[in-house]
Amino acid sequence: MIAIDRKLSSLREAVAKLEPLLSPCRLCPRHCGAKRDKGEQGVCELDDKLKVFCCNLHFGEEPPLSGTGLNENQKAKGSGTVFFSGCNLRCVFCQNFAFSHNGNGKYMTQEELSEEMLKLQERGAKNINFVTPTPQIVPALKALLLAYEKGLRLPLLYNCGGYEDLEVLKALEGVVDIYLPDAKYQDAELAKKYSSAADYPEKNILALQEMWRQIKNFEYDEEGYMTRGMIVRHLVLPNALGNSLAVMDKIKEVFSDEKGKVPFGLSLMCQYFPTFKAKDYPELKERLTFEEYLKTLEKLDEMDFELEFVQQHDDCAEDF
């Protein structure tokens, strides 16, 4: 159970700190300065209105977030997911391009979004999962505040691309209970080529440091669902093994203790499939091979994360 008085006061402080950053916009590291309150759209293709693709129970996150808690025998309860439209990254292989890049979604009032969150709680969700919230963080937090005032008591999961502004993250202290950021690149050339964000490697590591500074440890409820924690996700791309190994090496260099232990979780994903603009890049046209994924798993074997999650590759008959 979250401490509601503390949560409400952290949320009010966060809104007060973040609202001035909305227009001209400095909510993500691009600092593109769009006058969003005047209807201008930034690189993320969003003005200041709340736009959401859908709100639903989602069962595909890591087990302690949406699946079975830490008990494989219990029925999955789901994560209360809010898929926000738009994104501050421009990934050419985006698997959510329909709403992250092509503008699908509907405008909602903060009141309407708060009601959707309460419905997710009624349906049994274990958390409220904000997917790609960064560009819309101001109206999203206002809606969340309304929902908590009306009885929401679920932890907030911040599920983002990992290209985050430090000032924004600092304002989220006490608001976010679980961070689920990507660590996409440590190769600046690839970050520029595929996501139009050459500074992703340095911004990402700074963001992970700030997130872990806030979270510090893991907590679970009586069913084994995470109520506090941090899991970093890395999607292994085809023909980019060096980047994946560099991401893992960098995390180890920055975060491991004297025994080599990294205090948060890592989720190593092989679900890449060519979609959106990937057809324009010959090296992205194929799925990831099992051999490529295996190399990253061997690297993971040498490391020691607090939690580790891997996926079943289609070309592998056996469970890992």
User: Which residues of the shown chain bind ligand SF4 in the complex (CB under 6 A)?
Assistant: 25-28, 30-32, 34, 42-44, 88, 135
Question: What is the CB neighbour count within 10 angstroms for residue 97?
Answer: 17
**Between 63 and 135, whose beta carbon lies closer to ligand SF4?**
135
Alpha carbon separation from 139 to 39, 52, 85 (Å, rounded): 15, 11, 13
**Between 138 and 307, whose beta carbon lies closer to ligand SF4?**
138
Min CB(168)–ligand SF4 separation in Å: 9
CA distance 177 to 182: 16
Residues 6+ apart with CB under 8 A from 78: 57, 58, 59, 66, 123, 124, 125, 126
CA distance 270 to 4: 38
Min CB(96)–ligand SF4 separation in Å: 16
**Between 34 and 237, whose beta carbon lies closer to ligand SF4?**
34
**Between 27 and 262, whose beta carbon lies closer to ligand SF4?**
27
Residues 6+ apart with CB under 8 A from 69: 63, 77, 126, 220, 221, 223, 224, 225
Helices (H) and strands (E) counted in the chain, each on its own, are 10, 10
CA distance 135 to 245: 29
Min CB(267)–ligand SF4 separation in Å: 25
> Nearest to ligand SF4 by Cβ — which residue?
42
Helix (H, G, I), strand (E, B) or coil at 205: helix
Question: What is the CB neighbour count within 10 angstroms for residue 211?
Answer: 24
**Between 197 and 251, whose beta carbon lies closer to ligand SF4?**
197
**Between 28 and 226, whose beta carbon lies closer to ligand SF4?**
28
Question: What is the CB neighbour count within 10 angstroms for residue 153?
Answer: 11
* 170 phi and psi angles, rounded to 5 deg: -60, -35
The DSSP 8-state label assigned to residue 27 in this structure reads S
Min CB(48)–ligand SF4 separation in Å: 9
**Between 34 and 240, whose beta carbon lies closer to ligand SF4?**
34
**Between 25 and 215, whose beta carbon lies closer to ligand SF4?**
25
Helix (H, G, I), strand (E, B) or coil at 156: strand
Q: Tokens 């560099």 correspond to what residue?
A: 246
Min CB(195)–ligand SF4 separation in Å: 12
Min CB(137)–ligand SF4 separation in Å: 9
Min CB(29)–ligand SF4 separation in Å: 7
Min CB(318)–ligand SF4 separation in Å: 43
**Between 26 and 233, whose beta carbon lies closer to ligand SF4?**
26
CB-based contact 185:143 (threshold 8 Å): no
Question: What is the CB neighbour count within 10 angstroms for residue 258?
Answer: 5
CA distance 102 to 105: 9
Min CB(65)–ligand SF4 separation in Å: 25
